[in-house]
A and B are shown apart, each in its own frame.
Chain A
Amino acid sequence: MNDFIRGKTAIVGAATFGIGEAPGYETIDLAARASIDALDQAGIALKDVDGLFLALPDDMLSGLSFAEYLGLRPKLTDNNRTGGSAFQTYVYHAALALAAGEIDTALIAYGSNQRTKAGKLMTPAQQFTWEDPYQPILPASSYALAASRHMHEFGTTREQLAEVAVSARGWANLNPDAFAKGPLTIDDCLSSRMVSTPLTVRDCCLVTDGAAAIVMTRADRARDLVAKPAYVLGAAAATWNRNISAMADLTVTAALESGQRAYAQAKLGPQDVDVVELYDAFTINTILFLEDLGFCPKGEGGRFVSGGAIAPGGSLPVNTNGGGLSCVHPGMYGLFTIVESVAQITGTAGARQIPDVDVAIAHGNGGTLSSQATVILGSGATV
């Protein structure tokens, strides 16, 4: 493993905007507002951005639109299509471009108004010819099929899935920005409306508005800009399939590969991680990614999350902002896992702050358990 990634770059600004409902804004307005806030944190002028990485749900050429909107002429404009994991892949690509000296300042941004504009998941993704005749509810039924298989092979239960939702709600209750707050019990989850067995509406992520942005630069410059840069220690991506019907084993995701490569770059393992931020589009995701990223053996995820183990006060802090299940899910949640990781490393997470965070993992999922991308961030103590 080369040393091209580890500690060479850092995140120096990370902001969100419009979490929950942000009526009256276009998606690009939301992304721009989060971007300006993130640049302000770093004390970097907008005109200094020379690498632009964007995703919007309603604009196929959103990277170009954003350059124009901001009044920038970037050297590198990326508008990739790896779904909710796009932002982890952006960190990966930005780290390479920054470390190579091709760009000096990368802005990675996202904005969506799906809740107030559409009232449901807003996605440019196409129905799949080979699945469409059978009327799955996408994406829920794809994840439901994965959950059915996990339950069949490993004895995972609906109660264990519900435990993931209840834990996320526990964290959301500590986060003033979280959209879904209030008490939530295992029984509440089990008795809520069934969507696609075994997943109820409480096993499914929120439909919200929201935007996020991060700013990256090289480590030497980062230290001059901010007191606590969040250093990129590892970043890797893997794609094994697009559609759930083409996934070789529904209980093993490409997070296994992206995680191993990111850990190798970081020269760290799961035992070194202080806080875990996973793309929880559905409760089964958290279980699958805890397994594939090495926090428990394959098949043990359901038992691992039981008894409040990943809730506030548990043995492993997971999705400390409340996740896609209870904090925010504007359609592509990946960037929010990175923003929350930065908050935990810089000690700005308020009531949900985990003490002494040196290493955080931010894992993105795209499509239907398709693209998987993992970013490992570290405090100044790790470099």
Chain B
Amino acid sequence: MAANDIVAIGDLHPNRDYQAFLDQGRFMLMRDRTTGEPFFYPRIMAPVTGSRDLEWFEPSGRGTVYAVTIVHRRPPTPNHNVVLVDLAEGPRLMSRVEGLTPEDVKIGMAVQARVAQVDGKGVLLFDPAPAEERAA
């Protein structure tokens, strides 16, 4: 694997390859090499342009909460949040913010990606960003 964390794509299986990265603890995005435009979710071609000149790269993991809902569960199952996060690189995705009570997850909050291992599979989650990044 290249030192700059860019993986040129040969025989591409978007969903399987993305999950394999997560299972290794790595969050990887796909981008169009001709335009540099990143996109989510991974596809066999770039949306809109149809470009097949693609590569995986490791994003900063920084993001901002775009929308949030708290899913109410029957007790004793705790309620949980579901968020849409706008990544610093542009794409938006669904996830969950951990480390806060659901009511404290707010739109506009700075968050940082983390890959957790749940039942042997990698899952992309977010934590509140460290204070110095929130100030930046």
Question: Contact residues of A with B, CB < 8 Å?
Answer: 129-131, 133-137, 141, 144-149, 152, 193-199, 244-246, 250
Contact A135 B71 (CB under 8 A): yes
Report the Cα distance A145→B93, complex, angstroms. 12
List, sorted by A's number, 20 A–B pairs whose CB atoms are closer than 8 Å: A129-B41, A130-B41, A130-B94, A133-B118, A134-B82, A135-B82, A141-B71, A144-B69, A145-B68, A147-B69, A148-B68, A152-B107, A194-B72, A196-B70, A196-B71, A196-B72, A245-B92, A246-B92, A250-B66, A250-B67
Query: Chain A's nearest CB lies how many Å from the CB of B63?
Result: 13
Report the Cα distance A250→B92, complex, angstroms. 12
- The 6 A-B pairs with the shortest beta carbon distances in the complex, nearest first, are A144-B69, A145-B67, A245-B94, A197-B70, A149-B67, A131-B94
Q: Tell me whether B26 is interfacial, beta carbon within 8 Å.
A: no
CB contacts between A and B, total, < 8 Å: 68
Residues of A near B80 (CB, < 8 A) are 135
Residues of A near B93 (CB, < 8 A) are 130, 245
Beyond the given pairs A129-B15, A136-B71, A145-B68, 17 more chain A to chain B contacts, judged by CB atoms under 8 angstroms and listed by A's residue number, are A130-B40, A131-B94, A134-B95, A135-B71, A135-B82, A145-B84, A146-B67, A149-B66, A152-B107, A193-B72, A194-B72, A195-B71, A197-B69, A197-B70, A244-B94, A246-B92, A250-B84
Report the Cα distance A130→B14, complex, angstroms. 12
Interface size bucket, B side? 20 to 34
Report the Cα distance A40→B33, complex, angstroms. 61
Report the Cα distance A78→B70, complex, angstroms. 39
Report the Cα distance A107→B69, complex, angstroms. 40
Residues of B near A194 (CB, < 8 A) are 70, 72
Q: Tell me whether B7 is interfacial, beta carbon within 8 Å.
A: no
Report the Cα distance A134→B67, complex, angstroms. 14
Chain B 45-76 against A: per-residue CB contact (8 Å), 1 yes, 0 no? 00000000000000000000011111110000
Q: Tell me whether B12 is interfacial, beta carbon within 8 Å.
A: no
Residues of A near B31 (CB, < 8 A) are none
* Residue among B41, B69, B71, B72 making CB contact with A148, cutoff 8 Å: B69
Contact A244 B84 (CB under 8 A): yes
Known interface pairs A129-B15, A130-B41, A134-B82; A141-B96 also in contact (CB < 8 Å): no
Q: Which residue, of A137, A147, A148, A244, has the highest number of chain B Cβ atoms within 10 A?
A: A148
By beta carbon, the residue of chain A nearest B124 is A133
Contact A145 B92 (CB under 8 A): no
Contact A245 B72 (CB under 8 A): no
Report the Cα distance A133→B93, complex, angstroms. 12
Q: Tell me whether B8 is interfacial, beta carbon within 8 Å.
A: no
Q: Tell me whether B44 is interfacial, beta carbon within 8 Å.
A: no
Query: Chain B's nearest CB lies how many Å from the CB of A39?
Result: 44
Known interface pairs A129-B15, A152-B107, A244-B84; A134-B69 also in contact (CB < 8 Å): no
By beta carbon, the residue of chain A nearest B42 is A130
* Residue among B15, B40, B82 making CB contact with A141, cutoff 8 Å: B82
Report the Cα distance A135→B123, complex, angstroms. 12
Q: Which residue, of A133, A134, A145, has the highest number of chain B Cβ atoms within 10 A?
A: A134
Report the Cα distance A130→B18, complex, angstroms. 11
Report the Cα distance A146→B107, complex, angstroms. 12
Residues of A near B94 (CB, < 8 A) are 130-131, 134, 136, 244-245
